[in-house]
Chains A and B, each alone.
Chain A
Amino acid sequence: MSEVTPPRGPDDGGWRGEQPTRRALLLKLAVLINAVVALLFAIPVVGYILAPALRRTYLTWIALGPVENFPVGQTLLVSYRNPFVKPWDGPTADIPCWVRRLGQDEFQIFAINCTHLGCPVRWFQESQLFMCPCHGGVYYADGRRASGPPPRPLYRYPYRIRNGQLWVQAGQLPTLGQAQV
């Protein structure tokens, strides 16, 4: 008959022993509980931080005003209030875009952002060009790249005309990985 007695270290009270003791079990339980609560704590915190990225797109239809505001053959700067807005956004939520009217119901609506690195392009009526002040990107009136580093034509927003109003589908900063047109 062999009676197994838990081996005791000189001063650890059996803590490092091969045989589990009730005291050693307590430590394991404590670690386990902390791992669980750490996870429970991390889920809301990480979720809170990641929340803006969890939603794939932010798009909605926005009215830009009556169609007659835009003379045929002209390109005009129009601002709209971004629909996804916080009360303290201030002027940052006033997003500009270039509206080009080609015919009765034919429009092109360009984002303000250069497709190179997002700086605001400016329209020059006389030379019929968009120019970017940052790295010298230039676009033709229809948004095609004319020169400089831009990797693609100007970003365009989809549009529609309802009850004499021009509507644009927008709401988020267009980037190379996420552009509608």
Chain B
Amino acid sequence: MQRWLRTIGGWLEERTHLAGAIEETARHRVPRNSASWWYVFGSATFTVLILQIVTGICLATVYVPAADRAWNSLIYLNYQEPLGWYLRALHGWGSNFMVALMFIHLIQVFLFGAYKYPRELTWLAGVVLLLCTLGMAFTGQVLRFDQDAYWGLGIAAAIMGRAPLVGPRLVHLLLGGPIIAGETLSRFFALHVFVIPGLLLSFVALHLFLVLRLGINEWPVPGRLVKREIYLREYHELVERDGESFFPWAAQKDLLFAGLIVLALLVVAAVAGPIGPNGRPDPSIIETVPRPDIFFLWLFALFALLPPWTETFLILVGPLVLIAILIGLPFYSGTGEKSFRRRPFAVVFVILAFLLFATMTWLGLSSPWSPVMDAWSAVATPVAYVKGRTPLQLQGALLIQDKQCRNCHAMGGQGGRRGPALDSVATRLTRNELIRQILQGGGNMPAYGSNLSPAEVDAIVDFLQTMTPAGEPPARNSAPPAEP
């Protein structure tokens, strides 16, 4: 057996002369401190990318990228194709793993100053990889051709449609026609399977080539500044003085971590199962609550919370500014301090960005700004609020259900959260204020004046006036009318 292998190896080597290059790559010297557990995230991201390619090719053998069949083929994969559910789970969760690992890698290289001289181009290639990976996540969500995919495309089209002058043409270019339909899916299939992966792999190659050519970033030491004139010589001396072979001293950590990540992915995919699809992508089914995938939820939340007058500008210009900042970073601060211990703004920036992302994602998950579309018929009035009430008040309680007030107003912790909860409304508003608010609306509440009879308003206000928690007095008019 060994003899055979050696013969084959010798035959190959005689023709390729690659053994030397492989040996040299594997044994290239890296700074000893860089063979660290902090440097494993890039290789782990790459490992998941390889898995994505494998599972993606497997899925492509069954998936039908046609608008009338795609959803059915996903259902077939989930329930009939042997192990189809698991391959879909691996691919869907693999996407989440890859995006998460990529962002951890991004934060690590940012905090360790790895983008500084002479590694600016490595960083720029990384920025392209970031955009490609997010592009893969979005186009992948579209290929999971369900209601979320359909309305997600609608949101993308609505954003494009806001662009001045070229908006309508951009929309038709994005959709491949006048509506979200067959050609839209086909276009996104081409992007997801050919265009973006091609870009991604080319830039991975460039990224890795540069890492080898320039050497891995050394562990940043506070006070050791990057200067263009001496950096390369210093790095070379460091590697000579305090370096070690990449294989196995650094590679073993990469390998072990990547292995654990793959194991975690295998387990998560098996336990959590495939992601979707939810309902058929039929726009005439309007009983749907579209939500984007987890890594785009923060954007979804931002769209709800931005002041409307800033929205078009920020939606169109914001992403360009973010990309420009990422591209400009190594040129703006290409030299100087690398260590995060001496870069407080960088640390604060990362913390703020993470908090913003986490908060927005959490808000996106709970989306308190959305009416709960079925609360009026699905959520009952708390029993305590109807006990011992007069017939008129009960009529009011009924109207509050019937007029969909509960879609935006919670009672007893249930219902929408778009408007304030009604449990203690009478401690805040007097009878006249309640009537005014209902009839005229305001502060994000529609006006119900044309929609309620005076008797109905009377009943609702009579009921709302009972909404004072024990021990809290009802609201009083601060300037009561003078006694006659």
Q: Chain A nearest CB: distance from B285 CB in Å? A: 8
Interfacial chain B residues near A126, Cβ < 8 Å: 376, 402-404
B284–A147 contact, CB under 8 A?
no
Q: Say how far B74's CB is from chain A's closest CB, in angstroms.
A: 13
Inter-chain contacts of A120 with B (CB < 8 A):
151, 283, 286, 288, 290
| Binary flags per residue of A48-67, CB closer than 8 Å to B gives 1, else 0 | 01101111111000000000
- Give the CA-CA distance A74 to B251 in the complex, in Å: 70
User: Does the CB pair A149–B303 fall under 8 Å?
Assistant: yes
Across-interface contacts of A148 in B (CB, < 8 A): 369, 444
Task: Chain B residues near A92: list those with CB within 8 A.
Answer: 67-68, 150, 179-182, 184, 281-283
Query: Which of A84, A131, A177 neighbours the largest number of chain B CB atoms within 10 Å of its CB?
Result: A177
A146: which B residues are within 8 A, CB to CB? Answer: 441, 446-447
Complex: A140 Cα to B172 Cα, angstroms: 30
Interface locus among B156-164, B208-216, B351-359:
B156-164
Which A residues are in CB contact (< 8 Å) with B184?
92
In the bound complex, residues from chain B placing their C-beta under 8 Å from that of A86 are 67, 177, 181-183
Contacts of A52 in B (CB 8 A): 172-173, 175-178, 183
Contacts of A113 in B (CB 8 A): 154, 158
A75, chain B: closest CB distance, angstroms:
13
Say if the beta carbon of B371 comes within 8 Å of chain A. Answer: yes
Q: What are the residues of chain B within 8 A of A50 when measuring CB–CB?
A: 173
Q: Are A173 and B157 in contact (CB under 8 A)?
A: yes
Point out the residues of chain A lying under 8 angstroms from B150, CB to CB: 92
**Known contacts A85-B181, A117-B159: does B283 contact A96 (CB below 8 Å)?**
yes
Whether B169 is near chain A, meaning CB under 8 Å from some CB there, is yes
B365 at the interface (CB under 8 A from A): no
- A119 cross-chain contacts in B, Cβ below 8 A: 151, 154-155, 290
A93 contacts chain B at the CB level, 8 A cutoff: yes
Given the complex of chains A and B, what is the CA–CA distance between A95 and B451 in angstroms? 29
B28 within 8 A of partner (CB): no
A94 close to chain B: CB less than 8 A: yes
- Which residues does chain B contribute within 8 Å of A55, judged by CB atoms? 172
Q: Is A99 an interface residue (CB 8 A)?
A: no
Neighbouring B residues of A95 by C-beta, 8 Å: 179, 283-284
Q: Among B69, B163, B176, B402, which residue has its beta carbon within 8 angstroms of that of A90?
A: B69
Contact B168 A175 (CB under 8 A): yes
Residue from B168, B170, B444 within 8 A of A56 (CB atoms): B168
- Taking a contact as CB atoms under 8 Å apart, the answer to whether A175 and B286 are in contact is no
Q: Check if A136 sits within 8 Å of B154, measured CB to CB.
A: no
Docked-complex contact B281 and A53, CB < 8 angstroms: no
Asked if A151 lies at the interface with its beta carbon under 8 angstroms from chain B, I say: yes
The answer for the CA separation of A164 and B152 in the assembled complex, in Å, is 38
B403 touching A127 by the CB < 8 A rule?
yes
Q: How large is the interface on A (under 10, 10 to 19, 20 to 34, 35 or more residues)?
A: 35 or more
Residue on A nearest B446 in the bound complex, by CB:
A146
- Report A-chain residues with C-beta under 8 Å of the C-beta of B158: 113, 116-118, 175-176
Contact of A44 with B by CB under 8 A: no
Shortest Cβ gap from A86 to chain B (Å): 4
Residue contact B181 to A171, C-beta cutoff 8 Å: no
Interface check B370, CB cutoff 8 A:
yes
Q: Separation in Å of the B290 CB from the closest CB of chain A?
A: 6
A147 contacts across to B, CB distance below 8 A? 441, 444-446
Chain A residues near B169 (CB, 8 Å)? 53-54, 56
A85 to B68, alpha carbons, bound, how many Å? 12
Q: Does B448 contact A (CB under 8 A)?
A: yes
Chain B residues in 8 Å Cβ range of A132: 370-371
A21 at the interface (CB under 8 A from B): no
What does the 1/0 interface line of A66-84 toward B look like (CB < 8 Å)? 0000000000010100101
A42 / chain B contacts, CB cutoff of 8 Å: none
Closest 7 CB pairs of A and B: A175-B161, A90-B68, A177-B167, A146-B446, A172-B178, A58-B178, A118-B154
**Chain B positions near chain A (C-beta within 8 angstroms):** 66-69, 150-151, 154-155, 157-164, 167-173, 175-184, 280-284, 286-290, 300, 303-304, 306, 308, 311-312, 369-371, 373, 376, 402-405, 407-408, 418, 441, 444-448, 450-451
Mark A residues whose CB is within 8 Å of B. Answer: 49-50, 52-58, 77, 79, 82, 84-86, 88-96, 112-113, 116-122, 124, 126-129, 131-136, 138, 140, 146-149, 151, 171-173, 175-178
Beyond the given pairs A82-B179, A88-B69, A118-B155, 20 more chain A to chain B contacts, judged by CB atoms under 8 angstroms and listed by A's residue number, are: A49-B173, A53-B170, A56-B168, A58-B178, A84-B177, A84-B178, A88-B67, A90-B67, A116-B158, A124-B376, A126-B403, A126-B404, A127-B405, A127-B451, A133-B288, A133-B290, A147-B441, A172-B172, A173-B175, A176-B158
Q: Would you give 20 A-B contacts (Cβ < 8 Å), ordered by A?
A: A52-B172, A52-B183, A84-B178, A86-B177, A112-B286, A120-B290, A131-B371, A133-B370, A134-B370, A135-B300, A135-B369, A138-B446, A146-B441, A147-B444, A147-B445, A149-B304, A173-B157, A173-B180, A175-B167, A176-B161
